[in-house]
Structure 1
């Protein structure tokens, strides 16, 4: 949640602050035990922890469900995970993982996701979507990571409504990139009308045209990296005040960019990103217009990785791609990335979706 108001907690080099025990012999024993437990958590590898199964809010079984203007048929084979379980995760150190695959796409879409809560005492702020829908008899895959700040109200609305709005824009077949851009702006207007507090970054991917086309969109510092011919290709745009064009846009809107000692650049001294959903009190100065990439999926495209800032603040793009290439299992690949980010002492929530394009 690097975009939250206040000082950033996670960066390329993260120093974890630990209080040293007092020399006073009367130090409260319970407080020392809690402190030791926290130190143990930071130093204990989390490989091998038992995975929790996500609770799905869509029941598979061929049932027709209304999704706005479009009737969506949820087939038994679809491992639909709308991400609600990520908000109900257990203690820090326990990751939630899952995955699924398409049936009729060529190449086949096979995915895995993993989410891990940040430091103890902070609520989980990352939500996700990873699912396939049958629309007009054809499979369409939807993936998204929503990294909230100042509460998770905005991320929950995105999880529930953003992909419905893309479908309802009517351009999934004729103009999926335009439908995505319009749906982002429409969803933000609805959020501003209904939510007074909080915001969220987003990175989304939609695979359509029977697996031949990939639409990636983003706001903020969540990221999408495509492995093409074995090399990392950044297909999202980082929206933060360090980019001159983003800084200029903020100032044109009447805002300003400030850096406090020991902190990063922030819009109006508060927000670490220049584009986001929500953030009603700052909307005059920030934008919800996404950058959208329209990509043809061919034999050079091996897989896509979506991640929150908690993941990509710990890795460079090629390092992520090299890690995923080590395994054919996208669930395992996502879990390994998330666990390694925690071992590198990332204090933030960490979320990752790995989408492989597999010839069958």
Structure 2
């Protein structure tokens, strides 16, 4: 009996990514083994993205009249691809502003081979250098997220859009379930109505009974937002998308943990607001002094936690975390984003898509 040959096809959706694309393609070539096919999806590009991809010797697909952002671009490529693949084949989706570390693909393929219950393997992302203070704060945030994923033994609550390896048969299941058990257009893999297609495809795969993981070996280096305004718009889209996805799926066994985390997060915002109010009132009365007794112990433990959770990033990351007040300000910005997303959703305001300007790529 002939053995079935497993093939890996890498899809790289790209919108005006001529600067970062070479780094992404180089990281794919550095995998052992590399993908069998690499297809760059040039989506509404006004720069030399398609020419850069062609010069690198990979296939180029140009989208036609795509109005559905990244989801629409991926659907246009997956439409003709899935019918000519086998159930054993795999599809790797990689953002054109991200680079896989060597060993990413081998580790992801092995994880899928070892556990048939896993439907997709996502990356654990870290941020590129640059971006000043706002970039450094994002890198600390990503380091803590990676640590959290590791403590969950790689369970991925969201398959990052930066890089994820899918079983082809699972993508076909998703397409077949659209319009019936899953929201979205029948026959489409990605739901173009979703602002955060990575979060939505995760919910789709888990709703169909498959697990999603992010092994620590599957590291991907991605861009960071370099300005506060870019960060605000990016995070507003992320949070608005997460809330809209929960609304689209409703309360189910799969979505209940996501809904509980959202509820806890908004409760935390209320708690922080009350803390700031109490601190202001005590300060106005002159009762606010250095922390002492139990408060001193709690303060010290909090500082230690902030420093320890970013120690893998080195001394500068720990020094940024130690004063606490800087990262607390960053958290307040994010909480403001969460509140704005909830208000916009309740007010039915139109949501926008933001694509940050990528910095010149650094070495992965």
User: TM-score range, shorter-chain basis?
Assistant: under 0.3
Of structures 1 and 2, the one scoring higher in RCO (CA 8 A, sep 6+) is: 1
What TM-score results when the alignment is normalised by the length of structure 1?
Answer: 0.25
> Which structure would you say has the larger Rg?
2
Greater helix fraction, Structure 1 or Structure 2: 2
What TM-score results when the alignment is normalised by the length of structure 2?
Answer: 0.24
Greater strand fraction, Structure 1 or Structure 2: 1
